[in-house]
Structure formats: structure tokens, C-alpha cells
């Protein structure tokens, strides 16, 4: 059982999703527009968001972007738009999955269960391994070749983000949003400086953080 938020302005679709997921034991919160959705995210312990793109006041892309500043819960985009550009934009803003209308409610339910299982596993596993890097998330300790590193808070958060999303390209703007929450005195140069320092501290694992020209950074374990 999980607390789910359904953001959908089509009442019929909202009712179908809500009724089915309630029958599977979930607690469903519903929102008709973007402003209401963000209010629910702020005031309730939401564990997954099902988000339509074409909603009033704030569209789904804006809601996805702002919700990511408030929470790291899984987000499934549900929309009639099927363009590649929209899908890429959704993923770049932090969506975890994408479904196009008309959709199968059973497939949606399967995606929800898979994302919830993945989140539960991540939260219950204090040790992360990536090549020669080991992270004890409970103690916030990082080791390379069994030697503990002295990382700053931001360096640790950067490394953890990379390790949890291997192969995913993060633009500098995305890193600003995820790690610095758009702090007023931070710019993309700050990110480059932190990446440079983090690489230096990683030593033999420094090559795991890869620079992509005009795109950003990605994490990939290399021999």
C-alpha cells in the first residue's frame, strides 16, 4: 500500500485510475490542476505521482520540475502527447516513466509497483557499490579501494546522485536543480569546480565521472 497522487483534469480518467488503484490497496490523492498538485506534495507523504501534462494553471512539465525540488518520489508522466521531444523533456525534468493515452490500467499498475519496489530496495540498502567505490548511505561514508574519503556535503550528494543513476546524462542546469536547489549565488562554474574537486578525491575512480561536451556529465564504471 502506498500514498499515490493522481494529477489529471479529465474527471473520467482520474476516476478510472483512482478506483483501480484503490482496489489494489493504495491510498489515492487527486488534483485537477498543477497548483493543487504541488500543495498536496508539500502537505502529504506522497510516495509516487501520476502526472498528466495538459493540466490547468501549471502544466505537467512545470509541476514535474517543481515537485522534484520538493521530493525525489517516482513520477510517471501520463499524457496524450507522444512526441520524442516531449518524452525527452519529461525525463530531463525528473520523470521516471512515461505512458501515452490511451493506456492500459494494468500496465500502469505494473509500472507503479516496479517503481515502488525499486524505491523501497534503495531505501533499505545502506551499502552501494560502483566499481572500486563503496558508499555507506546510513553513515554517509565513501570509500575507494577501502580507503575512506573526506567529502563535503555537496560532493557526497553529487556522487550519490551519479551512482544512483549510472549512464544518465545530467546537464549542469539539472545538477543545479537537484543538488543546489537553484541557490541564488550558484552558477554552472560552481558545478564544474565541485566536479573537478570530487574527481581529484576519487583518485583511481575519477574516470567514472565523464564529461560530455555541451551536454553535462554522466557516471559510468570503467575498468
**pLDDT band of 81, cuts 50, 70, 90:** confident
Domain ranges in the chain with CATH number 3.40.50.2300: 3-123
At residue 7, φ and ψ (nearest 5 deg) are -110, 100
Interatomic CA distance for residues 87 and 125, integer angstroms: 30
3-123: CATH superfamily: Response regulator (3.40.50.2300)
**pLDDT band of 122, cuts 50, 70, 90:** low
Domain 126-219, CATH among 1.10.287.1770, 1.10.10.10, 3.10.20.30, 2.60.40.730: 1.10.10.10
Q: What percent of the chain is predicted at pLDDT more than 90?
A: 57
pLDDT in tens, 195-213: 999 999 999 999 999 999 8
**Which pLDDT belongs to residue 53?**
92
Is the separation of the CB atoms in 122 and 96 below 8 Å? no
Amino acid at each position: 500500500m502506498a500514498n499515490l497522487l493522481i494529477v489529471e483534469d479529465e474527471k473520467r480518467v482520474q476516476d478510472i485510475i483512482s478506483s483501480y488503484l484503490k482496489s489494489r490497496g493504495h491510498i489515492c490523492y487527486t488534483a485537477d490542476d498543477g497548483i493543487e498538485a504541488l500543495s498536496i506534495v508539500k502537505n502529504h507523504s506522497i510516495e509516487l505521482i501520476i502526472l498528466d501534462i495538459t493540466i490547468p494553471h501549471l502544466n505537467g512539465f512545470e509541476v514535474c520540475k517543481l515537485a522534484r525540488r520538493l521530493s525525489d518520489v517516482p513520477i510517471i508522466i501520463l499524457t496524450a502527447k507522444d512526441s520524442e521531444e516531449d518524452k525527452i523533456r519529461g525525463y530531463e525534468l525528473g520523470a521516471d516513466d512515461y505512458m501515452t493515452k490511451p493506456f492500459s490500467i494494468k500496465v500502469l499498475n505494473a509500472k507503479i509497483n516496479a517503481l515502488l519496489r525499486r524505491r523501497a530496495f534503495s531505501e533499505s540498502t545502506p551499502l552501494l557499490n560502483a566499481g572500486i567505490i563503496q558508499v555507506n548511505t546510513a553513515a554517509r561514508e565513501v570509500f575507494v579501494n577501502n580507503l575512506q574519503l573526506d567529502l563535503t556535503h555537496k560532493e557526497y550528494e553529487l556522487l550519490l546522485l551519479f551512482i544512483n543513476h549510472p549512464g544518465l546524462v545530467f546537464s549542469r542546469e539539472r545538477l543545479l536543480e537537484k543538488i543546489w536547489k537553484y541557490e541564488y549565488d550558484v552558477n554552472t562554474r560552481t558545478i564544474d569546480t565541485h566536479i573537478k574537486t570530487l574527481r581529484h578525491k576519487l583518485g583511481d575512480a575519477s574516470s567514472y565521472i565523464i564529461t560530455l561536451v555541451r551536454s553535462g556529465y554522466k557516471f559510468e564504471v570503467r575498468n
